[in-house]
Amino acid sequence: MPVTKVLTAGIGEADLRNIDVYRERGGYRQWERAVRELKPGDVLDLAEKSGLRGRGGAGFPTGKKWSFLPAEKPLRYLVCNCDEAEPGTFKDHMLIAEAPHLVLEGILLGSYGIECHHAFIYIRGEFKRGYEIFSAALDEARKAGFVGDDLFGSGFNLEVTVQRGAGAYICGEETGLLNSLEGKRGEPRLKPPFPAIEGLYGMPTVVNNVETLAYLVPILEKGAEWFASVGTERSKGYKIVSVSGHVQRPGNYEVALGTTVREIIDIAGGLRPGRNLMAVQPGGGSSACIFEEQLDLPYDYENMAKAGSMLGSGAFVVFDDSTDFVKAAHNLVRFFAHESCGQCTPCREGGHWLERVLERLVHGRGVSGDYEMLLRVSGGITGLNLCALGDSIEPFLKSVLLRFPEQFRARVLKAKETVPV
Amino acid sequence: MTRERDFPELLERVTPECLRIIARYEEKRSALLMLAHVFQEHEGFVSPEAVLAISEMVGITPAETEGTISFYTLLYRRPVGKYMLQPCRGLACAINGAEDAMAYFREKLGTSNLETTLDGLVSYEEVECLAACDRAPCMQVNLEFVYDLSPAKIDELLAGIRAGTYPVKAMAQTDPPGRTWEIRQDDQVSTGRKAPGATGVESPNNAGGVGDKSGTIMLDKIINRDVEFFRETRERAVLDSRAVVESVEEGREEAEHARH
């Protein structure tokens, strides 16, 4: 299957940051149509029928997420999650900087779908440029009458607020994000209650990824059937895959879900000459590796889960035979240990200890029993935390421990080499 | 100091902007991060005076503000260099040569991670994934991206910064920076965690808590059979026992003798 261009259409060809260029290409037409002709329920229906699932990592059906909002509470919020920081993911970064109006139109449609009057977008602190671009786009849209009070004379009011983060991966977790948006430490909350019941300021809140909301625009334009006709049985539509690592042409490629893993590698130019594939991490830093024998699997939510990994945010990292997996495991574990908010003991302490053990393995100073200890400790972190960050430490580590045990065992000091006490 | 004297004037200047930001939210406190960004932009860091001002504007205690700000690594609570160099150490960069780039930086700057050069011009921090993995290894200079790092590119960048011709705007610098902007428990300990403690206070209050690594460092030393550590321990044990002091003294004498 070839690369398709739905959200990525026009990026790199036209200046989509300019509202006039965006409108010439049909921009904001769906927004106007929605407010003038459709009921909020229609937008929700379209989202549900299209089979659109969350593109930020969890893959939760978007329409279903919206339908959890309690009907008796009219005050509710939509929050667009642009705190993209998962190692290997760089799609939201591109969308916000190259197609800010598309993202904004997605946010507007989402807000209309859940009937909220104040939407927020939380942009990662490091994307200062993206924040400036998006803020400028928002001002333009406000001037053009797409954001504000009494839109298109319908009486529907909608305000959008842009917030910058300040360097914390955990704020990508939806309840951590809400705390950060409330001006607190970005520590995840205990769930339930889920944000759909008690979210921002204690009100029902929907948190959606940038890419998820942006897909609402083509879905409204071309219909739910069009979106649902692409993909596999339960994974519908398209997905931007961020391919990086040891490929010749790394970058963002939009493909239909169900394209095989091998095809995606080929789309990104394949491996460098003379190199062999060792592993692919199909869903960002939190996902387990898949290996050569699984390359012909369709890239969708179900098949990645069946292979023991996940599709996650679509961060697709390719490793060839030049990779030192002990270093790679240390790198990712260090990331999670660094980004742990420190609320839950298994994640805070477990991650830190794994990092220490892996560090001495990297330096070839492991002690006997380290290999088993890594498996035991990482298994002891999973499932015992408030949020998914702790559970994200194990998958990659375990998959490479089981696949390349010799790389780890070779770093253990032999008895005669230890310095005598 | 000048900055403290100038602060009331700065506060007056940014107050309208701050009020506009606060008005965007249902609850004042939500504006906290954005306000911290505003002050950091003008002062180069979030100063203690700024913490007080923010607290007053959003109606919470300084401790709450401080507690919130200390969670976020992009908000600096001590002065930093005019240029913040942040190479990415994430996995996709790491497997494409980020380690070499970072080693080159450290060599050229004469600093290690989380340190500012002695002239106060450049601060250096190795950061987690910056979401530009397709152009690895990448970095940010004052939050502007630089892609596809190579030694030549790094040389050019540093030369530009030193000559004052680098196209990225320098950060405000109202106070001369110290060696590091991270608040640490103990200067001997290199930490990579969110910093505990209060502004400008190397507080012992967190001893043994999150971020206190003394225990784990000792264990590491035992596990790694750190020769130096064991020698010291043995010496210490020996000194405690009077009976053996003499033998140690003898040993010292012998050592002195051998040296002469």
Mean pLDDT of the region A58-82: 94
ipTM of this complex: 0.94
CA distance B173 to chain A (A): 19
pLDDT at B220: 64
Give the pLDDT band (50/70/90) at residue B189.
very low
Which pLDDT does position B194 carry in this prediction? Answer: 38
Task: Tell which CATH architecture fits domain A19-228.
Answer: 3-Layer(aba) Sandwich (3.40)
Question: CA of A19, closest CA in chain B: separation in Å?
Answer: 23
Three state DSSP letters for A239-299: EEEEEEECCCCCEEEEEECCCEHHHHHHHCCCCCCCCCEEEEECCCCCCCCECHHHCCCEC
Q: Which of B108, B55, B62 is nearest to B85 (CA)?
A: B108
* Backbone dihedral angles phi then psi of residue A275, each to the nearest 5 degrees: -105, 150
CB atoms near residue A406 (< 10 Å)? 8
Confidence of residue A1 (pLDDT cuts 50, 70, 90): low
Show contacts of B153-159: CB within 8 Å, 24+ apart: B154/B101, B154/B104, B154/B105, B154/B108, B155/B108, B158/B108, B158/B109, B158/B122
| Cβ contact, residue pair A182, B30, below 8 Å | yes
Q: Does domain A238-320 have CATH number 3.10.20.600?
A: yes
Average pLDDT over residues A333-361: 94
Mean pLDDT, residues A134-144 taken together: 97
Summarize the confidence of residues B212-221 as an average pLDDT.
58
Domains (range + CATH), chain B: 2-69 (1.10.10), 83-163 (3.40.30.10), 225-259 (no CATH)
Task: Give CA–CA dist B33/B47, Å, rounded.
Answer: 14
Give the separation between CA B51 and CA B64, rounded to whole angstroms: 10
Cα dihedral A335→A341→A345→A347 (10° resolution): -30
Look at the block and give the residue holding tokens 């095989």: A260
Instruction: Say if residue B211's pLDDT is above 60.
Output: no
For residue A172, what pLDDT is reported? 95
Q: What is the mean pLDDT of chain A?
A: 95
pLDDT (0 to 100) of residue B4: 76
Do B28 and B70 meet the contact criterion of CB atoms below 8 Å apart?
no
pLDDT of residue B259: 65
**pLDDT confidence band for B31 (50 / 70 / 90):** very high
d(Cα A269, Cα A25) in Å, to the nearest integer?
30
At B252, the pLDDT band (50, 70, 90 cuts) reads low
Percentage with pLDDT > 70 across chain B: 70
Query: What number is the average pLDDT over the span A309-318?
Result: 95
Residue A167 pLDDT grade (very low, low, confident, very high; cuts 50, 70, 90)? very high
Q: Could B134 and A184 be called an inter-chain contact, meaning their C-beta atoms sit closer than 8 Å?
A: no
User: Model-level pTM greater than 0.90?
Assistant: no
Q: Is A31 on the interface with B (CB under 8 A)?
A: no
- Residue B170's alpha-carbon distances to B36, B142, B167, in angstroms, are 18, 7, 9
Determine whether the interchain pair A332/B140 forms a contact, defined as Cβ–Cβ distance below 8 Å: no
State which residue of chain B sits closest to A251, comparing Cα positions. Answer: B134
Question: In this predicted model, which residue has the larger pLDDT, A252 or B190?
Answer: A252
The answer to which of A90-104, A168-182, B167-181, B214-228 has the lowest mean pLDDT is B214-228
List, as ranges, residues 327-346 from A with C-beta within 8 Å of B.
327-328, 331-332, 334-335, 337-339, 341-342
Show residues of chain A in contact with B85, CB under 8 Å.
none
Residue A235 CA, chain-centre distance (Å), reads 16
In the numeric block, the tokens 């009219």 are attached to A74
Whether residue B132 and residue A93 make contact (CB cut-off 8 A), yes or no, is yes
Looking at domain A325-415, its CATH architecture is Up-down Bundle (1.20)
User: What does the domain layout of chain A look like in residue ranges?
Assistant: 19-228, 238-320, 325-415
pLDDT in tens, A211-247: 999 999 999 999 999 999 999 999 999 999 999 999 9
pLDDT at A194: 95
- Categorize the per-residue pLDDT at A73 as very low, low, confident or very high, splitting at 50, 70 and 90: confident
- Of B44, B66, B38, give the one whose Cα is nearest residue B176: B44
CB contacts under 8 A, B 199-218 vs A, are 210, 216
Proportion of chain A above pLDDT 90, given as a percent: 94
In this predicted structure, the answer to whether residue B187 has a pLDDT above a threshold of 60 is no
Out of B34, B75, B136, whose CB is closest to A244? Answer: B136
User: Do the Cβ atoms of B143 and A352 come within 8 Å?
Assistant: no
Q: What is the spatial distance between Cα A246 and Cα A242, in angstroms, rounded to a whole number?
A: 13
Query: Could you tell me which residues come within 8 angstroms of residue A267 by beta carbon, excluding any fewer than 6 positions away?
Result: A2, A3, A243, A253, A255, A259
CB contact under 8 A, A164 and B33: yes
A119 beta partners:
A78, A160
Residues B25-35 have a mean pLDDT of: 97
Cβ-based contacts under 8 A for chains A and B: 163
Residue A18 backbone zone (phi > 0: left; psi -120 to 50: alpha; other: beta): beta
Strand partners, A298: A260
Is A255 within 8 Å of A4 (Cβ atoms)? yes
With bands split at pLDDT 50, 70 and 90, how would you rate the model's confidence at A413?
Answer: confident
For residue A34, which of A116, A204, A151 has the smallest C-alpha distance? A151
Supply the pLDDT for residue B11: 96
A 254-313 residues with CB below 8 A of B? 285
Give the model's confidence band at B218: pLDDT under 50 very low, under 70 low, under 90 confident, else very high: low
